Chain A
Amino acid sequence: MTSRRTRPVVADPAPAGAATADGTRVAVTRWSRAATAATAVCVLVLAVLAALPYLAGTGVTQALVTLFLLVSMAALWNLLAGYAGMISFGQQAYLGIGAYVVWLVGKTGLTPFAGIAAGALACAVAAVPIFALLRPLTGGYFAVATWVVAESLFLYVTTALWLGGGTGVGLQQLSSMTPVVREAYTYWESLVLMAVIVAGVYLLVRSRFGLDSRAVHDEPAAAAAMGVEVGRTRWLAYMIAALGFGAVGGMLIVSTLYTDPASVFNVNYSADMLFMVVIGGIGTMEGPIIGAVIFFAVQQEFSAYGAWYLVAIGAVAIAVVLIAPGGLWGKAARRGWSLLPVGYRVRPRGVSPPGVPGRPGPPAPAGPAEAPGGGGGGD
């Protein structure tokens, strides 16, 4: 998808400079000092996290595995809902497929850690016919239909004795490993998975695909008229999400050593993803990560008091949708903050960024120059 196909209308964004219609030279930037700093901090945090099994007990690492999986799910759900405009309440279908494929691979004697790749691939394969079925649907129609697909898989697995039926299946091979070693491997694998998913989604959203999908999300008809292949963009987003959710599902069974249809195919996963993404900021890179951390903290802190925390988070999510649709990071982005820039910043050449007076020219895009994703390079 990164290939440089020429398109009739939307020219590929020029990396360094371009001219506007009236001939003014402008500079197009895609990176910033804040982004360099953010990336450096990310790498540092990852390095510390990677060393953690040597420093902290399994209580900490087990909790962090949950957090890593939440971040992964939020990033993937945001790719679908925030960027490609497909709200799905059925991604738990792929969590389930991933988990059960890991179990099947484990039965053959291969290590379940390798099974995760197989689970992800199986999901991508399963997603082909599922998306063919869902392709004509939009909006609420699409959202509930995905849920029905997940529910059908759930009903099938509860009746399928070869998959353990309703009682579920356990990963025996891993149970025989030394717990400390197993937990360290599980921790590292989920850390790598999260890093790959977040970085993958980020690179994807920065690519031509990102521009296309945001155009499709904002205005499908206009995007199609501009030469964006709407169906193809939606298809690719769905496939990549399926791949990612398959891997996360595989990690779920590896981390708990056990899965059953009622828990892995549970629509509550979709609810959690919605809450994390909406509260953090739908359609931003940073938002879902922040949302996942908040959700995780609230869950750790308050789940002992029952399901009240879900009631509260649900109420907050509704309030965010109705009052501040950008979520937490949306507020920050409006002030021009961007740690993981995905768009194109256009400013007249020679004019320095904030505050420094330069020669008169077309006004630099005020405020959220970043927000709509540039809307096409060099315009």
Chain B
Amino acid sequence: MTWVNDVVQGIFLGGAYALTAVGLSLMFGVMRLVNLAHGDLAVCGTYLATTVMAAFGVPLWVAMLIMVPLAFVLGMLLQVTLFDRALRTGPTAPLLVTFGLSVIIENLLLQVYSANTRGVLAGNLDVAVAHLGALVLPWLALLKLVLALVIIGGLSALLRLTAWGRRVRATSDDLAVARLQGIRVRPLFASVTGIAIAAAALAGTLNAVTTGVYPTLGALTLIFAFEAVIIGGLGSLWGTLLGGILLGVTQVVVSQVSVPYAILASQLLFLVVLAVRPYGLLGTPQAPQAPQPAG
């Protein structure tokens, strides 16, 4: 039974990874843009939420109601000012620009908030658990998994059923033809990045309730998100959920055997998937596509 419980805890952890990764997956799927600042933007959102909490004395959920829309706007601004231009400049420019942005954010946070770990207070949400037979269900982890399901399900529905979704899919398939059909690509990309950054900031803040937050957390956040995206398969949102869950289960199960090797094991899982099935579990083998320039 403890193994079953481990797997369940792993799925919860995977929900957290998937929630963090969904924005990265979305941006890659639509623009072929690997946003290396994704993790740092998530961490940025967390600091923003704690700052709002401290400044106005409001509880976490109110702070997040303020922070998530701000993150959406920040994402749109980044897309319009930096990413569009980087995508236009050439295939390596988005990598150089987003990595540079990641270093800027990390060091800004370091200067403004110091290197110390900050706790994110959430009442007793971080310790509250429900019991289901022998299974332990931590409310916070459950919340993250449900949010991951809701966001991925919601995004899939939006992409499939709405006019916005049709435009995004058309642009993702062929930017030039989409533009010929009169689709205005730049606002579309801005909205996609806005959603991606908002989701990342939401995920980062909820994760920080358990672990706390520190300026260099972004690097590891990005690596795990990237691994979830690749393991699941590029361009597949449900694949990202699967990838996150596989990472989470691997980590929790291995930690029962040896705690120091838990994170290493999930990195190795990624490398194995890369060696055996580089296009991911739910992906389809195809030549990698060049970044899509907008504007």
Which A residues fall within an 8 A CB radius of B?
81, 85, 87, 89, 133, 136-141, 143-145, 147-149, 151-152, 155-156, 158-159, 267-268, 270-271, 274-275, 278, 306-308, 310-311, 314-315, 317-318, 321-322, 325
- A139, A149, A151: the one contacting B95 at CB < 8 Å is A139
Contact across chains for A148 and B94 when beta carbons are under 8 A apart: no
B244 to chain A, nearest CB (A): 16
Task: State the B residues within 8 Å of A (CB).
Answer: 33-34, 36, 82, 85-86, 89-97, 99-101, 103-104, 107-108, 110-111, 219-220, 222-223, 226-227, 230, 260-261, 263-264, 267-268, 270-271, 274-275, 278, 288, 291
Do A307 and B97 contact each other (CB < 8 Å), given the known contacts A139-B34, A141-B34? no
Distance, CA A145 to CA B288, complexed state (A): 15
Please judge, given known A-B contacts A81-B92, A271-B103, A322-B86, whether A148 and B227 are in contact too, CB under 8 Å. Answer: yes
With both beta carbons as reference points, the residue of chain B lying nearest to A309 in the complex is identified as: B107
Measured CB to CB, the nearest residue on chain A to B86 is A322
Residues in A neighbouring B288, C-beta threshold 8 A: 138-139, 141
B36 adjacent to A140 (CB under 8 Å): yes
Distance between A212 CB and nearest chain B CB, rounded to angstroms: 19
A contact residues around B267 at 8 Å (CB): 148, 151-152, 155
Contact check: which of B93, B100, B223 meets A144 at CB < 8 Å?
B223
Q: Is the interface of B mostly helix, strand, loop or mixed?
A: helix
In the bound complex, residues from chain A placing their C-beta under 8 Å from that of B274 are 133, 137, 145
In the assembled complex, 9 residue pairs joining A and B whose CB atoms fall closer than 8 Å, in A order, are A87-B96, A145-B274, A148-B226, A155-B263, A270-B99, A274-B96, A314-B101, A317-B96, A325-B93
- Could you tell me if B34 and A143 are in contact, using CB atoms closer than 8 angstroms? yes
A308 touches B111 (CB 8 A): yes
Q: Which of B89, B90, B91, B96 has the most CB of A within 10 A?
A: B96
Q: Is the CB of B99 within 8 A of A325?
A: no
Interface contact A321-B110, CB-CB below 8 Å: no
Distance A41 CA – B270 CA, assembled complex (angstroms): 49
User: Shortest distance in angstroms between B81's beta carbon and chain A's nearest beta carbon?
Assistant: 9
For A136, the chain B residues whose CB sits under 8 A away are 278
| Structural contact, B230 and A321, CB atoms closer than 8 A | no
Contact partner, B223, options A151, A308, A315, Cβ 8 Å: A151
Given contacts A136-B278, A144-B34, contact A318 B92 (CB under 8 A): no
Measured CB to CB, the closest approach of chain B to A61, in angstroms, equals: 29
How far, in whole Å, are A13 and B264 apart by their CA atoms in the complex? 49
Q: Most chain-A Cβ atoms within 10 A of its Cβ — which of B89, B92, B110, B264?
A: B92
- Whether the pair A274, B107 counts as a contact (CB closer than 8 A) is no
In angstroms, Cα B208 to Cα A379, docked, is 60
Q: Which of A133, A155, A274 contacts B264 (CB 8 A)?
A: A155
How far, in whole Å, are A308 and B103 apart by their CA atoms in the complex? 11
B214 to chain A, nearest CB (A): 13
Instruction: Select the residue from B227, B261, B288 with max chain A CB neighbours within 10 A.
Output: B288
Residue of B86, B100, B110 with highest tally of chain A CB at under 10 A: B100
Whether the pair A308, B95 counts as a contact (CB closer than 8 A) is: no
Specify which chain A residues have a CB less than 8 angstroms from the CB of B33 in the assembled complex: 140
| Residues of chain A contacted by B261 (CB below 8 angstroms) | 159
Asked if residues B91 and A321 are in contact (CB atoms below 8 Å), the reply is: no
Closest residue of chain A to B290 (Cβ to Cβ) is A139
Contact partners of B268 in chain A: CB under 8 A: 152
Asked if B82 and A318 make an inter-chain contact with CB atoms under 8 angstroms apart, the answer reads yes
Closest 4 CB pairs of A and B: A140-B34, A307-B107, A314-B104, A155-B264
Contact of B82 with A322 in the complex, beta carbons under 8 Å: yes
**A306 and B82 in contact (CB under 8 A), knowing A140-B95, A151-B267, A155-B263?**
no
* C-alpha gap A141/B36 in the complex (Å): 11
User: By the criterion CB–CB under 8 Å, are A308 and B271 in contact?
Assistant: no
Residues of chain A within 8 A of B91, CB atoms compared: 139
Q: Do A311 and B111 contact each other (CB < 8 Å), given the known contacts A143-B95, A152-B264, A325-B90? A: yes
| Given contacts A141-B288, A314-B107, A274 and B271 within 8 Å (CB-CB) | no
Known A155-B264, A307-B110; judge A149-B97 contact (CB<8 A).
no
Collect the chain B residues with CB atoms within 8 Å of residue A322's CB.
82, 85-86, 89, 93, 97
User: Known contacts A144-B223, A159-B260, A308-B107; is A87 also within 8 Å of B89 by CB?
Assistant: no
Q: Are A325 and B89 in contact (CB under 8 A)?
A: yes
Q: Which residues of A contact B92 (CB under 8 A)?
A: 81, 85, 87, 139
